[in-house]
Structure formats: C-alpha cells, structure tokens
Structure 1
Amino acid sequence: RSTYLQTPLLGKTARNYKDFAPIVRVFIDPMVLYVRNESPYKSAKDLIEAAKKSPGKQRWGCATPGSVEHMIANQIQKVAKIDVVPATFEGGGDLLVAVLGGHVDLGLGEPGEVMGQVDAKKLRILATFTESRLGMLPEIPTMKELGYDMVVEKFRGIVGPKGVPQDASAWWEEKIQQVLKDPKYKAYYESVNLIPAFMGSKKYTEYIEKENANLTEYLKEIGLLKQAPKQ
C-alpha cells in the first residue's frame, strides 16, 4: 500500500496507480492493538474510556507519519472522540521494545511482529482493525464490533500494464483462487499471518480508488500533502 499509493501521492515517483491495471487482490495484512502484559488495560474499551478521562495523557506507539499504523492512531481519535499522543518509531522492533519497557501505553502493528511476545505472555492483543475476527486470534474482538466503525488494512495484490486484456485478467482471477486453496500454500500464508482476501479486477479497481481517496484525505490532515496531486 505505501509503495503503490502513498509514494506517488507524496511526489516521490512520476507514476501512480492509474498507470496500472488492477488484476486481483490476494491478501491483507491484519493490524492489531497490543499492550504489555502488566498493562492495567484489559480491553480496548478500558483503554478508550481511560483516554476519555485523561485527554492527551496516553502515548500510542506507532510507525512514522504516513504509515498505516499512524493512520490508525489518527482515525481512532476521531471515531472514539479521544485525544492521545502518537509516539512514532522507525520500525516495529523499536516500537515493541518501547511497549515492553512501558515507555508507551500500547502499540499498533501486525500480528507477525508481536506473536512471539504474545505466546511468551509478555504482550496482550486487545483488538484488531479487520472486518471480522481473525482465524488465528478468534477470541480477540474487532474494533468494529466494539462500536468503533473503522477497518484499516494493508493489502497485497497483482497489477499489470494499463490495457491488460479482459481474458488475461480472468485467467489470473481463476488461477489465484486455485492457488489460495492449495493446502501447502495455505499452510505457508497462514504461518506468516496473511489473510486471503481475493478480489477480482472490477472490485479491486473500486477498492483501490476508495483506498487512495482515504489515504489522500489522511495525508492532507497530517500536513504531509498540501494539496491533492493530479492523477
């Protein structure tokens, strides 16, 4: 997502998503909210209620401005009507250390970055930002089901040169669906915490348009994008 949509928006490349033909969306990388095991917050509801009582006190660890994680911290403040301090880190490893050390109240990231510490009982995941609960974490609620209408995803897919013939797109749609059902490949992508999220060319095109609009608005809000670029 950051390469395909964000990089062109920030003027770091002469081309943008409209120069390519979306063929299929294949996966999404789920995003989660986590705290260290000793945290007083036992649920996302606890966390947000505490933030409402003490505006500007909680430090939410996330990646740098413009990242999906930072976008989550920005959006949830509006949706939940809270005021928190986003504490940014260059990478997931630095953020993980900060959460474990109690330097921030929580972290926002991907399951793959934290599951080792979750299994070691050093971290707890309080919520996901997916449309529905994750198969790997069936006991963890989504923010949406908790009453906060937000779904944030990193997506992975295949695009081709503009003007890809319809029969070529149809071939890819058929083959990707077959591959996703392959037991060996399924075992692999589940082991790296990827969620199969097949979407054909037409819907994928509409999805990308919506994602680009949301990302444009967010980048303008945080001051990284002064005006919408011509696309």
Structure 2
Amino acid sequence: MDRRGFLRTAAALPLMQSLLPGLAAAEDVYPSRNITMIVPFPAGGQADLAARPVAAALERILGKPVIVDNRAGGGGGSVGNAQAARATPDGYTLLMTLSSLAVLPEADRLFERTVAYEVSQFAPIARVLADPTLLAVPASAPWRTLKDFIDDARRRPGEIPYGSSGPYGTLHVAMEMFASSAGIRLLHVPFRGAGPALTSLLGGTVQAMAGAPGTLKPQVEDGRLRVLANWGAERIPSFPGVPTFIELGYRDVEMYIWAGLFGQRELPAPVMTRLRGAMAQAAASPEVVKTFSAVGSAVAYQDAPEFAKFMDRDSARLIAAVKRIGRVE
C-alpha cells in the first residue's frame, strides 16, 4: 500500500469503527429467520400436543415462523433427539421432547449400543406439561378394574399385547415399571410414537397402553377407551374417578410424561434469555392454556433453572427404574 492509500484508509477508520456496533447489533438480533422445533415423535402424542400451541405462541411473540418438524424414528424419540443435539447451537433448531430424553442413552448402554446422544448436550429452556401417565384399555375389554387386568395377565403370561412409543420410551418404561411391580408379564408391541400406538389400541391390535391425559381424554369421552389407573402421586381433575397405582398398593409405580423445550448446551446466553422470556409468555398465553385445558392437561410451566432441577430428580428415578427392569424387548 502506498502512502496516499494508507492515509485514506486511516481517515476512514473512525467511520468504520462507529458503524461496527450497529452492524454487530444487527447480526445479534434473534431471531432473524425461521425457527425449527423438532418433535421426535409422530403427530398425536404428548410432545406434539405440547409443541403445536407453543410454537404458534412463540411465532407471535418472536415475530418469526416456528415450524414444528416431526422426526420420528429409532424408538422412543432417539433419532429426533440426536438430530437436535447435533444441530448448530444458534437457537434456530429447538427440541420439544419428553421424559424419555434421559432414559434412552441409558438404554443404549444397557444393550451395549452406540449412544445416540447425551443429555449433557442439551440446555433446558422450559417445561410446559407434566402429566401423570394413565393406563388405558378398549372400552370393549373385559377388565373393569386394575385387579381384573392383573388377574387376567397372571392367567395368561405374555399374552396381553400393549403398545408403546418405542423401546425404552416413556410409555414403555411406565408399563414395564407396572408389570415388574405387579409380577406379571405382558407382550410389548413398539410403535414409532404414541399416536400410532393409540391408533393401534383403538383398532384392537393391542389391548393396553400407557398414555397422557391429553391424548386419551377425547377417546374416553367418546366411549372408545377405559382408563384403569393413574401413575401419578394423586388423582387428577380430568380423571377424578381413576385411582393411582400408589393408592392401589403399588407404591413404587409412579411416572409422569412431561414435555419440555430444549436448546443445545452451547446456546449463546442472549439467545437463551430471549427464549426463556418468550416461553414464559407463551405458557401464560390464553391460547396455550385453553388448548391444553381442552384435552385435560394443565400448563405445568417451569423456567430453565427449576426445570433443570426437576429433570435431574425425575431422570434419576427413571434411570434407576430402567436399571431395575433390565433388558426387555
């Protein structure tokens, strides 16, 4: 560079420096494009039920499209979870998933498989639902009570088929937790999500299923399904006549099918702050509250710090249950 060119560049430096903060701010504005919310299950299950009204609310709050992307596969949500874990940590790929998030890596280790992802790759943003799991059977089935079901299962070990969202997914672990405690053996029929499992239950391919209140309530109200027991610590308002496993004497049978939003561990702090604020607004929005209430689920919002603590406690209990159950198909 000659002396004249150097002087021109030096003279322009103050102007360039004055523009840099504005340029940086423009680049840092989040979001500046569409956001993808991965749901690692087909439509019709608890994660999808949580994702769609929340995505619509976030779209309004953040001012950019939030696209729900159902990426089922692998069993229990492992494929979608892994894809979200590997995504660029910029806030444009989020994950709405279930309590099976912590169980699936342990199941991989149990079967000596390559672990698809680790929970440590994720950063909890907010919990939105936390429903007790319910045991549902066809309304035409002969079982009127949980005792009826257990007595029949003892007479016919391994013959009563039940559906799940995939091996070691939330619904599978719930049923095996119950079967282990009751001393019965059932026939596991895995599907790619709770939606297909529910369709199979309604069609008579399987005879039982653990499910969330929101996915089961419409079918119960239509007289197509009957609910025998509740995996929660207490009865729930949307199913007040359904006893808990605990009150029926199975004190170690307790499970919740929670749904929460996650980003990647390296998510920038300003993006995390923006998402936490947006989720607080979304969870309180009348549209989300109304949508959840219509299917018998209450908003169970927790901000990131509380959600992380809750998840640690719940995951420890579920992992212990998986180790106790051992290798089952």
TM-score category of the 2 structures, normalised to the smaller one: 0.7 to 0.9
Gaps of 5+ in 2: 1-75, 82-100, 109-114
Query: What corresponds to 2:327 in structure 1?
Result: 222
Cα distance between partner residues in 2 of 1:81 and 1:49:
11
Structure with bigger helix share is: 2
Query: What corresponds to 2:255 in structure 1?
Result: 152
Cα 1:84–1:20 shift into 2, 3 Å: closer
- In structure 1, the residue corresponding to 2:299 is in which secondary structure? strand
Q: 1:158, CA displacement in angstroms? A: 4.7
> Map of 1:72-111 to 2, 5 A cutoff?
72-111=174-213
Larger radius of gyration: 2
Cα distance between partner residues in 2 of 1:42 and 1:112:
22
Q: Which amino acid aligns with 1:145?
A: E
Say whether the 8 Å CA contact 1:21–1:164 is kept in structure 2: no
Higher relative contact order (Cα pairs below 8 Å, separated by 6+ residues)? 1
Q: 1:121, CA displacement in angstroms? A: 1.3
Cα 1:180–1:139 shift into 2, 3 Å: farther
Q: 1:221, CA displacement in angstroms? A: 1.8
Cα 1:223–1:93 shift into 2, 3 Å: closer
Query: What corresponds to 2:116 in structure 1?
Result: 12
Cα distance between partner residues in 2 of 1:132 and 1:182:
27
Deviations 1:7-43 (A, max 9, x none): 6554223xx3334554543321442211111211001
Q: 1:116, CA displacement in angstroms? A: 3.2
The TM-score with structure 1 as length reference comes to 0.73
Q: Which amino acid aligns with 1:212?
A: S
Deviations 1:166-221 (A, max 9, x none): xx98xx59x83x76555554222212443333446555333322333344452782
* Match 2:214 to one of 98, 103, 112: 112
2:244 is the counterpart of 1:142: yes
> Between the two proteins, what is the percent identity of the paired residues?
26
2:154 is the counterpart of 1:71: no
Q: Which amino acid aligns with 1:89?
A: F
Say whether the 8 Å CA contact 1:23–1:159 is kept in structure 2: yes
- In structure 1, the residue corresponding to 2:148 is in which secondary structure? helix
RMSD: 3.5
* Match 1:187 to one of 287, 290, 294: 290
Say whether the 8 Å CA contact 2:135–2:228 is kept in structure 1: yes
Segment of structure 1 superposing worse, 40-49 or 209-218:
209-218
Cα distance between partner residues in 1 of 2:304 and 2:285:
21
Cα distance between partner residues in 2 of 1:7 and 1:37:
32
Segment of structure 1 superposing worse, 29-38 or 86-95:
86-95
Cα 1:110–1:163 shift into 2, 3 Å: closer
- How many residues end up aligned between the 2 structures? 218
Cα distance between partner residues in 2 of 1:52 and 1:106:
15
Cα distance between partner residues in 2 of 1:113 and 1:130:
16
Q: Which amino acid aligns with 1:79?
A: S
Deviations 1:42-61 (A, max 9, x none): 01222113223433332222
Cα 1:179–1:117 shift into 2, 3 Å: closer
Deviations 1:64-120 (A, max 9, x none): 212111111211111112222222233444433443344433222233333333222
Say whether the 8 Å CA contact 1:45–1:146 is kept in structure 2: no
Cα distance between partner residues in 1 of 2:240 and 2:160:
27
Segment of structure 1 superposing worse, 178-187 or 86-95:
178-187
Say whether the 8 Å CA contact 1:57–1:85 is kept in structure 2: yes
Gaps of 5+ in 1: 225-231
Q: Which amino acid aligns with 2:292?
A: Y
Query: What corresponds to 2:314 in structure 1?
Result: 211
Segment of structure 1 superposing worse, 114-123 or 214-223:
214-223
